[in-house]
Amino acid sequence: MKAVSILKKNRECRMLLVLFLLCIIISIRNPAFLRTKNMFDLLRSNAIFGIMAFGMLPFMLTGGIDLSVSSTICLTAVLQAYYLQNTTQHSVLLVFGICIAAGALVGLVNGILVVSLKIPSVIATLCTQIMIFSGVMYVTGGALMPGLSARLKAFGEFRLFNIPAEPAPTGIYTQILMLAACGIVTWLIVQKSPAARGISAVRLNAGSAESSGRHVGLIILLCCIYCGIMAGIASIASVSMVNAVAPDSFAGFEMNVIAILVIGGACQAKNVRPFWGTVLGILIFAVVRNGMVLLYVPENMRQVIWGLCVLVTLAADMIPGSVLGIRPATEPAPEQAGSEETTEPAPERAGKEEAAGPAPERAGEDETAMPALDRAGKRESAEPARKRKTEKTAAVRKKKAAAPAPKPSLPAWAAAVDLDDAEEEDDDTI
C-alpha cells in the first residue's frame, strides 16, 4: 500500500515504473536490447531530441511552444555544411559559433514576434518554421550533402571511455557528452539560477509576475533565444554523427520534442520537478524508439504508437478515478479535505454546527461511531478551502455579535454606595 501511495503522489515514480516495464517487455521480445553497445547507441542516436527538449523546456514553462525548432536545426545544419564544403582550414569551434549565432537569431525573431507584437507563440513559431524550412529547401533543393569534414567526423566519433562490447567496442560518445552538458545548463537555468524564480512566476501567473516588477517580456525573449541556441547545438550533434546533411530529414522533429516535454509534465503548472520529468521523458522516448526498431515495427506505424504512448501518459494524469486513483490538480483529495477539517479549531467547528442546525437524517445517528473522515465529508462543502474558511469565520463573528453583552462589574465602593441608597429608599417608603 505504501508503494501505491508513492505512485499516487509522485509523477516521476510513475514514469520510472513505465520505463522499467518498457525495458522488460522489449528485452523479452528481443534480448539484444540489453546489450551494452545498444544502450550507448540508444543514448547517442536520441541525443539530438534530448538537446532540443532541454532547449524548449524553459520556453514551455513560460506557457509557450516553439514549433520552429525543426526548421532551426535544418537551417544551422545547412549553414555548417556550406562552411565545411567551402573552406579547407575549418575549425570545430567556429562551427559551434556559426550554429549558435544562427540559432540565437531565429530565437530572437520568435521572441520579438511573441513579446513585442503579442502574437501567440504557436502561430509566430509556425510562421517562422514554414518560412525557414521552405527557404532552405528552395536553396538546397533538398539534396543530400555528404562527406563534409573528416575533422568534424572525428569529433563526433570521439569516446570518453573505450568499453569492450559486442559486436564492437563502445563508450560515451561526443553526442552523449553534449546531451549531458546541455542538461546541466538547463537544470541550472530552470532550478538554480536567478532566472528560475522569474520563469516560475511567469509559469504560474504572468499578470501577477508583471505586477510584482518582473520583466516578463525579457524572460520570454531569453527563453526563445535559448531554445534557438540549443537547436543549433543539436544540429552539430547530428552532423558530427553522420558527417552529412539531409535537409528534409529534420521535418517533424518538433512534434517529437513537444511529445517528450508533454510526457515529462512540462505543460502542467503544478509540476514542481519539470527538469527531472523531462529527463525521464527523453529516456522513455529513446527506449520506445529503439524498441520499435528492434521489434521491426513498420515505419508508418511508429508515429502512431508514439502518439498512443503520449495519450496514455496524459490520460493517467488527467482522468480521475484511474487505476492508481490519480486525481486532477484542481480536485482536492479526500484525505486532504479530512486533514483540513480535523485541524480546524474546536470553537469554530462548534459554531458552524450550531449555526447550521442538526440535520433530520442525522438526528438518530451515533456520531461517536461514525468515522472521522465520514463526519468531515458530511460537513464539508464542495467550495474551495479559502471560501469555506471565510464562511466559518463569518459564522463565528455573527454568533459573537448576537450574544448579549455582559453587565459591567462595579468597584466595591460603588457597590456599597448603591446598597446604601437602596436602604434609604426603603426607609422612606416605610
Mean pLDDT of 77-86: 91
**CB 266, CB 313: distance < 8 Å:** no
- Residue from 221, 180, 213 nearest 197 by CA: 213
Q: What is the structure's pLDDT at 323? A: 42
Q: What is the structure's pLDDT at 404? A: 62
Q: Is the dihedral of CA 45, 49, 55, 61 positive or negative?
A: negative
Rounded Cα–Cα distance for residues 348 and 344 (Å): 7
Q: Say how many Å lie between the first and final Cα of the chain, rounded.
A: 87
Q: What is the structure's pLDDT at 1? A: 64
Rounded Cα–Cα distance for residues 103 and 113 (Å): 16
Q: What is the structure's pLDDT at 20? A: 92
Which residues make Cβ contacts (< 8 Å) with residue 50, sequence separation at least 6? 179, 182, 183, 260, 282, 286
pLDDT-based confidence at residue 338 (cuts at 50, 70, 90) = very low
pLDDT-based confidence at residue 52 (cuts at 50, 70, 90) = very high
Which of these ranges, 14-28, 185-199, 231-245, 356-370, has the smallest mean pLDDT? Answer: 356-370
Rounded Cα–Cα distance for residues 60 and 260 (Å): 12
Q: What is the structure's pLDDT at 189? A: 92
Beta bridge partners of 145: 245
pLDDT for residue 408 is more than 90:
no
Q: What is the structure's pLDDT at 384? A: 64
Helices marked H in 295-411: 299-318, 334-342, 346-356, 372-379, 385-402
Rounded Cα–Cα distance for residues 226 and 233 (Å): 11
Rounded Cα–Cα distance for residues 324 and 9 (Å): 10
For the stretch 266-320, pLDDT in tens is: 877 666 678 999 999 999 999 999 999 999 999 888 888 888 888 877 776 665 4
pTM of the predicted model as reported, rounded to 2 decimal places: 0.73
Select the more confidently predicted residue: 213 or 155.
Answer: 155
pLDDT for residue 334 is more than 60:
no
Q: What is the structure's pLDDT at 256? A: 92
- Residue from 231, 258, 254, 225 nearest 112 by CA: 225
Secondary structure letter of residue 158 according to DSSP: -
Q: What is the structure's pLDDT at 130? A: 95
3-state secondary structure of 139: helix
**CB 242, CB 56: distance < 8 Å:** no
Across the chain, mean pLDDT equals 79
Mean pLDDT of 187-209: 82
Beta bridge partners of 146: 244
pLDDT-based confidence at residue 362 (cuts at 50, 70, 90) = very low
What kind of fold does domain 9-318 have according to CATH?
A: ABC transporter involved in vitamin B12 uptake, BtuC (1.10.3470)
pLDDT for residue 9 is more than 80:
no
Q: What is the structure's pLDDT at 231? A: 95
Q: What is the structure's pLDDT at 70? A: 93
Q: What is the structure's pLDDT at 307? A: 86
Residue 167 host element (H or E): none
pLDDT-based confidence at residue 340 (cuts at 50, 70, 90) = very low
Which of these ranges, 96-105, 167-176, 282-291, 356-365, has the smallest mean pLDDT? Answer: 356-365
pLDDT for residue 34 is more than 60:
yes
For the stretch 55-70, pLDDT in tens is: 999 999 988 999 999 9
Which of these ranges, 114-128, 196-210, 317-331, 379-393, has the smallest mean pLDDT? Answer: 317-331
Cα dihedral angle (418, 419, 424, 427), rounded to 10 degrees? Answer: 150
- Name the phi and psi angles at 141, rounded to 5: 70, 10
Rounded Cα–Cα distance for residues 85 and 416 (Å): 114
Distances (CA, A) of 94 to 84, 87, 99, 140, 155: 10, 12, 9, 22, 13
Rounded Cα–Cα distance for residues 316 and 7 (Å): 11
Q: What is the structure's pLDDT at 202? A: 81
In one-letter notation, the amino acid at residue 59 is F
Question: Residue 50, exposed/middle/buried by CB under 10 A (0-12, 13-18, 19+)?
Answer: buried
Q: What is the structure's pLDDT at 205? A: 76
Which of these ranges, 57-71, 239-253, 272-286, 385-399, has the smallest mean pLDDT? Answer: 385-399
pLDDT for residue 367 is more than 50:
no
3-state secondary structure of 411: coil
